[in-house]
Amino acid sequence: MSAEPAPQPCEVCGVETTRRCSACVKAGISLFFCGKDHQKLIWPAHKTVCGPGKAHPFMVEPLSDEEVAWVRGELGTTSLASGVTLSQELVDLSQSDRSAKSILGELTGNTYLTSKIRKENLIVQWIRAVYVGQKHARLNSPSKMDLQRVFADKPNRLPAFMTTQPSASILRRIYAKLEALYIGVEVDESTWFSLVQHKALIMSYLLQVSVVRGHPDELQSYWELCCSRMYAWIRAGAGSNDPRIERALASFRGAGEEVLDS
């Protein structure tokens, strides 16, 4: 029998607990929940990456045929954020000499992704963020009405669609910090990097649940505290125990963090 872990903050409310997701423990990932209610709250998102074969290395669901078809039709469109075409941004993200269409071909299917494309998870979440943001433009400033309207007929896709923008932003910022110190591909399958992605997914889902339910105080508080804990944890090295990574992430800032600090 394994030793009981030291108490850690619940991923939702921050109360210290030794209770963990048992399926993820089997995959080498420790996610702490003070009780079943908080684990159930984030389950619609977490179930997609829970347990052996998905939790570590962190495995995202492949792009749907609808997502791929839409992105293929938009590859020549220039992004307002980056000033380059979506095709070029996709190639740049993958750090590959392959075409954007070739890269997309490896990111779809009926099973979890097994390609060896660099930054595979970031690319999939970035594509989903672009898909949602441009197909449903008002999601750039989401309201309860907009989100309910867009996703009312897609309950099974809700987590995959709704958690992409914050998660993609966090991953992109972390990669930028690491690459500035020439830390590369070796992090992709590390335990700490899988844990970062789990925490980003939970934080993102708490945000979106709060938005859909009209920002009730309790959910808003859960999201804000989850953000603060996660960003502080990332700046402390994200549990990597690697001085290079700790140095790279020490200046990490999450999107909108100045608002949380105010």
The model's pLDDT over 117-168, given as tens digits with 9 standing for 90+, comes to 778 888 888 888 878 766 655 434 443 334 444 444 444 444 444 556 788 8
Nearest Cα residue to 196 out of 221, 223, 230: 230
Q: Identify the H or E element spanning 261.
A: helix 257-261
Q: What is the mean pLDDT of residues 187-208?
A: 92
pLDDT at 243: 95
**Mean pLDDT score across all residues of the chain:** 82
Spatial distance between the Cα atoms of 60 and 111, rounded to a whole number of angstroms: 10
pLDDT above 90 (res 54): yes
pLDDT above 60 (res 260): no
Asked whether the beta carbons of 159 and 229 are under 8 A apart, the reply is no
Burial class (CB in 10 A: 0-12, 13-18, 19+), 12: buried
pLDDT above 90 (res 191): yes
> Residues with Cβ < 8 Å from 151, sequence gap 6 or more?
157, 158, 161, 162
> Residues with Cβ < 8 Å from 42, sequence gap 6 or more?
11, 12, 202, 205, 206
The residue with greater pLDDT, 73 or 186, is 73
pLDDT at 212: 73
Q: What is the mean pLDDT of residues 239-259?
A: 86
pLDDT above 70 (res 210): yes
Lowest mean pLDDT among 66-75, 101-110, 129-138, 206-215: 129-138
pLDDT at 215: 64
pLDDT at 138: 42
Spatial distance between the Cα atoms of 258 and 2, rounded to a whole number of angstroms: 41
pLDDT above 90 (res 8): yes
Q: Where residue 23 falls among pLDDT bands split at 50, 70, 90?
A: very high
Q: Which two tokens stand for residue 204?
A: 């993102």
Residue carrying the six token digits 């309790």 = 218
Q: What is the mean pLDDT of residues 221-231?
A: 93
Nearest Cα residue to 123 out of 38, 54, 131: 131
Spatial distance between the Cα atoms of 41 and 118, rounded to a whole number of angstroms: 32
Q: Which two tokens stand for residue 250?
A: 């020490």
Residue carrying the six token digits 């690697």 = 242
Q: Where residue 111 falls among pLDDT bands split at 50, 70, 90?
A: low
Lowest mean pLDDT among 113-127, 131-145, 192-206, 219-233: 131-145
Q: What is the mean pLDDT of residues 158-180?
A: 77
Out of 19-23, 64-68, 144-148, 172-176, give the one with best mean pLDDT.
Answer: 19-23
Q: Which two tokens stand for residue 109?
A: 């299917």
pLDDT at 65: 85
Q: Which two tokens stand for residue 119?
A: 């930054």
